[in-house]
Structure 1
Amino acid sequence: MSKIKVLFVASEIEPYAKTGGLADVSSALPKALAGKGIEVKSVMPLYSKVNREKYKLKKVMDMACVHMGNCEEWFSVYHTNEPYGNDVYFIEFSKYFDRPGIYHESFGEYSDNPYRYAFFCRAAMQLAKDLNFQPDIIHTNDWQTGFIPYYLKCGEDAFFWGTRSVITIHNIGYQGSFDTSVVDYAKIYPQDFNAGAFESFGRLNILKGGIAFADKITTVSPTYAHEIMGPIGSGGLHDLLRSRSADLCGILNGIDTNVWNPKTDKLIPKQYDIKTYKTGKKANKKALQKMFDLNDAPNVPLFGFIGRFASQKGLGLLAGAVERAVSSMVCQVVILGSGDEDAQWYFGGLPARYPGIIGAYIGYDETRSHLIEAGSDFFLMPSLYEPCGLNQLYSQVYGTLPIVRATGGLDDTIDQYDEYNGTGTGFKFYDIDPQALYNTMGWAVSTYFDRPKHIDNMITQAMKKDYSWSIPADLYIGIYKELSGK
């Protein structure tokens, strides 16, 4: 039987360009698929921030032409071959991608985003034709690639008549809702601009159209797949998703264990594994306290937070709990993140008010991120909603016990602490309330001091978890086989 061929299309892929978890998945999943015998070619835009020299990008195609609805666009293609067997292609088109940002700048979102990604969808498909790569599956991701399932269903090009589509919803909070000016350029037929497909309250909703026309719909955790079929968690798409429930499933993300592995992590001072975690975490905790100007206190529980400063991440809960916690409990806190300006001012100012107890870094830094995972005792994720989440997976692998609000993938991946048996891999709370987070931090602190054997049991249980991409990749391959008949 011939190999399954997959064209993996995403608006960002780590390490070339990244704004969030989509880039991590779009990097790690194709590698895992390639390792299991799937022939994968990945495609993303060539943004100006992509370092062509560092990643050894080579131009492989010039003056390629794509037919949009009302014009032709000409573009070039660059390529790099990754060591895991999958090819990554980059669509160069200065008109849309030669900009400082990916989706936006400080003034806001790029007004022509629907045009940019309508073009990208067409160009990705044209690239497959020009390479004579006839995919069994085009795996699309989020609204930026949501036109592709529609173009396949239109059946305009015989090259793709045997191709099926999968769309993965990484975060339904971002749907690609725009005015209708792009309809002609994107070539959406009038009969398909309706409430069952692209139309939403008179506007164009690209993710909605992608869901309507995709052959299979996945999202990044089983609980999130359930949540988005309800009116609270769907962003208004629950009726459509319920109508497609037979084709919807949740598959937990994995993590790239070549990057996130305390045994081999070169970004932390002391590597360790399940047998040596006590000495390893002690050394990394000392380094973390020094990096964030905290008191050298090896026996004080240390909470870490890494995340975008956005309301989704539960910043209101964190702000309402963190000062009370350090004032009434014996503990320390480190915070790494950026985003909302008010949040940056607030969290960035905490170290001055609580010297030696709270540390903060406004921005993103890979070394600090790895050290927080390795050196913290507990990791805070008080998200209002979380499709899957990755940091709670990293944390468990590094023996850092997550404190999470039980939603989406956070609920799926954390085993609640059982105080009677001393089992679990973290601490869950349910209410969207700073008091609930504060109480759970207190529960963790009391366990740290009063039941240290339970902490050891939980760390061991957490570090035994397999969060590699092997199992998720097998589940995606099962979907590909079902659709392709191979």
Structure 2
Amino acid sequence: MKILMVSSEATPFAKSGGLADAVSALSRALQRAGHDVRIVLPRYYSIARDGLIQLEGPLGVPLGGQEHWSAVFQATLPNSQVPVYFIDHEGFFGRDGIYGNKAEPDFADNPQRFAFFNRAVFQLCRKLAWFPDILQAHDWPSALAPVYLRFTESGGEFTGDFAGEFANTKAVLTIHNLGYQGVYGKSAFESFALPWEAWHGAGFEFYGSLNLLKAGITCAHRLTTVSPTYAREIQAHEQGCMLDGLLRSRSSDLVGILNGVDLHEWDPAVDPHLPAHYSSTDLAGKAACKRAAQEAFGLPVDDKVPLIGMVSRLTDQKGVSELFGPLYGSAWHICHDMAVQFAIQGSGETWCENELRSLAGRLPNFRARIGYSEAIAHLVEAGADFFMMPSRYEPCGLNQMYSLRYGTLPIVRRTGGLADTVSNYDEKSGEGTGFMFEHLSPHAIYDTTGWAIWLWYNRPDHFQAMRQRAMHQEFSWDKAAHEYTALFADMLPKEETKK
């Protein structure tokens, strides 16, 4: 199959979060499965032209009553043969930041920037004379691609074949995080080069504003999200982000496919960031990593005390209020009441960063590093005995899968991808790969952490068996690619899937 990935991010070219890693990893896995996969990105200011190949001739993109011109560059996704195309436009992308920057956290012209990008995707395919069987759009910045596939302007009337060239192309919209929807003023619609009938027909209207993700959900042939549990959760009011009704109406077209992890980058047997390597059959190196982590965070080196690690954005989504909130947060009580150590790396909300510094100053068994270091992130995963992840919601989550692979047992809330990847400890049988609680509260975090610490001190046999079991869990991108391939094949005529 010919598969086109339309995304605002892809590692290593442009990244603000896990979306970039997922797009690149899935593209590689689909190519390994034998598909013709290509990626289209904007060429942001941060992506140097050096090393890129410029395609011959400019690209004309009709938008907002005028013709915009773009250069197109090409590269190859590292560790693959996947072509990556970059849409270049100085006015839209020649600035610092993907969606915003310090001076302007959310660019006011984001609707126009990404409308131009999505429209340019189709012009690029024409230029290449390459028309995909599947167009996979990712999150709100690419949600206009399914809309443009469905609607174009022809005498003020709808036509669904985009001049016939994309008549056989099917659109999939992947929702990585429903909380980010691309909601802007209604006036932005005028610049999209769509007929006004599309305002309602494509579902842009959102309580008097314009919602890009909602339009993509309305127009895509199929919808996916990044874990089976999250696919169910977003159809309910609590996590539906005001789109649950629309998602329920499309429930037969919505499927959750669990993201994978990069098994080469996250492998304790060869991880270059670690002071010692280890595997499920030889855990001596993990003990050395624990000592190194304790030293790196300024904690007493003691292999008999359990070490709880955490690497996280310090935002409300991650449950930081319940864990670190002044007066009522559970972290202080855990460190005060239990023989345990905490090592945390994170950055985010100012109040939380300040509270971490305060806790580190008051508690000898609590240390935090504000900021992000890839090497420290790997060291925490390898050196910790338990990993704290009390998310309010978690579409998929990666750290719990890294933790399992590194023999570090997760302490998580039962939500989204956490529920799909961690199995709860059973005291009678010793089964399980981690510890789970249902409702997010300081008491739930405290009690579940106490349960894990009880296991450490009282059932070391169960702990070691769980660690072994965790390290044998399989979360490969090849498995995810197999599920996507089955979904794509179901969308196409049988003869198309043989290409």
Q: What TM-score do the two structures reach when normalised by structure 2?
A: 0.93
- Aligned equivalent of 1:310: 315
Whether the 8 Å CA contact 1:62–1:75 is kept in 2: the answer is: no
- Aligned to 1:190, the other structure's residue is in SS state coil
Task: Specify the code of the residue in structure 1 equivalent to 2:415.
Answer: T
Mapped to 1, the partners of 2:70 and 2:307 lie a distance apart of: 51
| Aligned pairs for 1:362-373 within 5 A | 362-373=370-381
Q: Distance in 1 between matches of 2:122 and 2:376?
A: 39
Contact 2:202/2:219 (CA < 8 Å) preserved in 1? no
Deviation at 1:51, TM superposition (A): 5.0
Q: 2:88 aligns with which of 87, 92, 95?
A: 92
| CA displacement, residues 84-143 of structure 1 (integer Å, 9 cap, x when unaligned) | 221122222221222222112234211111111111111222222212221001100001
Asked if 1:297 is matched to 2:305, the reply is no
Q: Is the 8 A contact 1:196 1:240 kept in 2?
A: no
Range 41-50 or range 98-107, more displaced: 98-107
Bigger shift: 260-269 or 396-405?
A: 260-269
Aligned to 1:468: 476
The reply on whether 1:24 has 2:29 as its aligned counterpart is no
Q: Which amino acid in the other structure matches residue 47 of structure 2? A: V
Q: Is the 8 A contact 1:71 1:185 kept in 2?
A: no
Of 161, 182, 190, the residue aligned with 2:188 is: 182
- Match of 1:74, SS state, is strand
Q: Report if the CA contact (8 A) 1:115-1:182 is conserved.
A: yes
CA distance in 2, matches of 1:97, 1:328: 52
Any residues of structure 2 matched to 1:405-424 within 5 Å, and which?
Answer: 405-424=413-432
Aligned position for 1:382: 390
The answer to whether the aligner puts 1:345 opposite 2:354 as a matched pair is yes
Alignment of 1:258-337 (within 5 A): 258-277=264-283, 279-319=284-324, 320-337=329-346
C-alpha displacement of 1:14: 1.6
Matched residue of 2:323: which SS?
A: helix
Identify the match of residue 457 of structure 2 among 449, 468, 476: 449
Letter of the 2:209 counterpart: R
Letter in 1 for 2:317: Q
1:74 aligns with 2:69: yes
Is the Cα contact below 8 Å between 2:64 and 2:191 reproduced in 1?
Answer: yes
Structure 2 vs 1, CA of residues 100 and 163 (structure 1 numbering), >3 Å: closer, same or farther? same
1:413 and 1:223 mapped to 2: Cα distance? Answer: 10
Selected match of 1:391 from 390, 393, 399 = 399
Q: 1:392 & 1:52 partners in 2: Cα distance? A: 36
Deviations 1:381-428 (A, max 9, x none): 100011111111111011000000001111111100001111100000
Aligned match of 2:155: none
The letter for the 2-side match of 1:336 is Q
CA distance in 2, matches of 1:79, 1:261: 31
Q: Distance in 2 between matches of 1:285 and 1:61?
A: 54
Q: CA deviation at 1:289?
A: 1.1
| Structure 1 residue identity aligned to 2:199 | F
Q: 1:354 to 1:49 in 2, by over 3 A?
A: farther
Q: Distance in 2 between matches of 1:196 and 1:243?
A: 15
Structure 1 residues 413-466: Cα deviation after superposition (integer angstroms, max 9, x where no partner): 110000111110000011221110011111111111111111111111111111
Aligned residues: 479
Go from structure 1 to structure 2 and tell me whether the alpha carbon gap of 1:196 and 1:43 turns closer, same or farther (over 3 Å shift): closer
Unaligned runs of 5+ in 1: none
Separation of aligned partners in 1, 2:391 and 2:278? 29
RMSD in angstroms over aligned alpha carbons? Answer: 1.4
Given that 2:318 and 2:390 are in contact with CA atoms closer than 8 Å, whether structure 1 keeps it comes out as yes
Q: Could you tell me how far apart the structure 2 residues matched to 1:108 and 1:402 are?
A: 33
- What is the rounded CA distance, in whole Å, between the counterparts of 1:381 and 1:157 in structure 2? 49
Q: Which ranges of structure 2 fall in alignment gaps of 5 or more residues?
A: 152-160
Q: Which amino acid aligns with 1:213?
A: C
Q: Which residue of 2 aligns with 1:47?
A: 44
Q: Distance in 2 between matches of 1:450 and 1:310?
A: 34
Amino acid in the other structure paired with 1:297: D
Contact 1:379 1:400 in 2 (8 A): yes
Q: Which moved more, 1:81-90 or 1:108-117?
A: 81-90
Which residue of 138, 142, 150 maps to 2:147?
150
Task: Give the Cα–Cα distance (whole angstroms) in 2 for the partners of residues 436 and 299 of structure 1.
Answer: 25
Q: Distance in 1 between matches of 2:297 and 2:176?
A: 32
User: Counterpart amino acid of 2:455?
Assistant: T
User: Does the 8 A contact of 1:10 with 1:141 survive in 2?
Assistant: yes
Q: Give 1:126-165 correspondences, 5 Å limit.
A: 126-154=123-151, 155-165=161-171
C-alpha displacement of 1:185? 1.2
Q: Please state whether the residue corresponding to 1:99 is helix, strand or coil.
A: coil
Residue of structure 2 equivalent to 1:484: 492
Q: Does 1:6 align with 2:3?
A: yes
Match of 1:33 in 2: 30
Following the alignment from structure 1 to structure 2, what is the Cα–Cα distance between the partners of residues 195 and 419?
54
CA–CA separation in structure 1 for the residues paired with 2:268 and 2:252: 39
Partners of 1:262 and 1:419 in 2: CA distance: 28
Give identity over the alignment, percent.
Answer: 43
Distance of 2:56 and 2:140 partners within structure 1: 26
**Is contact 2:147-2:202 (8 Å) kept?**
no
